[in-house]
Structure 1
Amino acid sequence: MESVINTAHEIHFGELAKAALQQYLNQNQYSKIFLLVDENTNKHCLGPFSKIYTDQTERPIVIKTGEINKTISTCVDVWDALSNLGGDRKSILLNLGGGVVTDLGGFVASTFKRGIDFINVPTTLLAMVDASVGGKTGVDLGVLKNQVGVINQPKMVLIFPEFLETLEERQLKSGYAEMLKHGLIADKHYWNKLVQLNESDYKSHIQESILIKNGVVEQDPTEQGVRKKLNFGHTLGHAIESYFLEHPDKKTLLHGEAIAIGMILEGYLSHQLTGMSRIELEEIKKVFLNNYDKVSFTQEDINIIIDLLKHDKKNSHGNINFVLLEEIGSAITDVKVPFNLFKEAFAYYIE
Structure 2
Amino acid sequence: MKSIEANGYTVFFNKNGYTSLNHYITQKNYSTIFIISDTNSNEKCLPKFLPLLETDKSIEIIEIESGETEKNIATCVEIWTILTELGADRKSLLLNIGGGVITDIGGFIASTFKRGIDFINIPTTLLAMVDASIGGKNGVDLGNLKNQIGVINVPKMVVIDTDFLTTLPQNEMRSGLAEMLKHGLIFDKNYWNEFKDLSQKDFADFDQLIHRSVEIKNEIVLQDPTENGIRKALNFGHTLGHAIESYFLENENKKTLLHGEAIAIGMILESFISWKKQLLSEDEFNEIKSTLNSIFEIIHFEENDLQPILDLLIHDKKNENGEIQFALLDGIGKTRFNQKSDNELITQAFENYKS
TM-score scaled to structure 2, two decimals?
0.97
Task: Check the 8 A contact 1:130/1:178 in 2, yes or no.
Answer: yes
Q: 2:27 is matched with which residue?
A: 27
Structure 1 counterpart of 2:312, from 280, 287, 308: 308
Question: Over residues 16-62 of structure 1, what are the superposed CA-to-partner deviations in whole Å (9 max), with x where a residue is unaligned?
Answer: 10110011001111111111100100110010001221436323100
The 5-angstrom pairing of residues 168-247 of structure 1 reads 168-198=169-199, 200-201=202-203, 202-247=206-251
Matched-pair identity in %: 53
Cα distance, 1:249 vs structure 2: 0.9
Question: Over residues 165-194 of structure 1, what are the superposed CA-to-partner deviations in whole Å (9 max), with x where a residue is unaligned?
Answer: 000111000000000000000000000012
Structure 1 unaligned spans of 5+: none
Task: Check the 8 A contact 2:93/2:119 in 1, yes or no.
Answer: yes
Partner AA of 1:47 in structure 2: P
> What SS does the aligned partner of 2:59 have?
coil
Partner AA of 1:181 in structure 2: K
Partner AA of 1:203 in structure 2: D
Q: Distance in 2 between matches of 1:34 and 1:59?
A: 5
Q: 2:12 is matched with which residue?
A: 12
Partner AA of 1:260 in structure 2: A
Cα distance, 1:274 vs structure 2: 4.4
Task: Check the 8 A contact 2:68/2:101 in 1, yes or no.
Answer: yes
Q: Distance in 2 between matches of 1:151 and 1:197?
A: 34
Question: Over residues 185-244 of structure 1, what are the superposed CA-to-partner deviations in whole Å (9 max), with x where a residue is unaligned?
Answer: 000000001222247443331100000000000000000110000000000000000000
TM-score scaled to structure 1, two decimals?
0.98
Q: Distance in 2 between matches of 1:163 and 1:145?
A: 26
Q: 1:50 is matched with which residue?
A: 50
Q: 1:155 is matched with which residue?
A: 156
128-137 or 336-345, which deviates more: 336-345
Task: Check the 8 A contact 1:274/1:325 in 2, yes or no.
Answer: no
Cα distance, 1:6 vs structure 2: 2.5
Q: Distance in 2 between matches of 1:263 and 1:231?
A: 10
> What SS does the aligned partner of 1:317 have?
coil
> What SS does the aligned partner of 2:194 have?
helix
Question: Over residues 294-318 of structure 1, what are the superposed CA-to-partner deviations in whole Å (9 max), with x where a residue is unaligned?
Answer: 1011121111101100000000101
Structure 2 counterpart of 1:250, from 248, 254, 258: 254
Q: Distance in 2 between matches of 1:222 and 1:52?
A: 34
> What SS does the aligned partner of 2:11 have?
strand
Q: 2:84 is matched with which residue?
A: 83
> What SS does the aligned partner of 1:139 have?
strand
191-200 or 314-323, which deviates more: 191-200
281-290 or 53-62, which deviates more: 53-62
1:350 aligned onto 2:354 = yes
Q: Distance in 2 between matches of 1:291 and 1:210?
A: 21
Task: Check the 8 A contact 1:30/1:90 in 2, yes or no.
Answer: yes
Task: Check the 8 A contact 2:136/2:154 in 1, yes or no.
Answer: yes
Structure 2 unaligned spans of 5+: none
Task: Check the 8 A contact 1:274/1:324 in 2, yes or no.
Answer: no
Task: Check the 8 A contact 2:33/2:60 in 1, yes or no.
Answer: no
1:320 aligned onto 2:324 = yes
Q: Distance in 1 between matches of 2:271 and 2:73?
A: 34
Partner AA of 2:8 in structure 1: A
> What SS does the aligned partner of 1:286 have?
helix
Partner AA of 1:13 in structure 2: F
Question: Over residues 60-93 of structure 1, what are the superposed CA-to-partner deviations in whole Å (9 max), with x where a residue is unaligned?
Answer: 1001100011000000111011111110111110
Q: Distance in 1 between matches of 2:202 and 2:133?
A: 22
Q: 2:294 is matched with which residue?
A: 290
Question: Over residues 134-180 of structure 1, what are the superposed CA-to-partner deviations in whole Å (9 max), with x where a residue is unaligned?
Answer: 00000000000000000000000000000000001110000000000
Partner AA of 1:83 in structure 2: T
1:142 aligned onto 2:146 = no
Partner AA of 1:113 in structure 2: K
Total equivalences in the alignment = 351
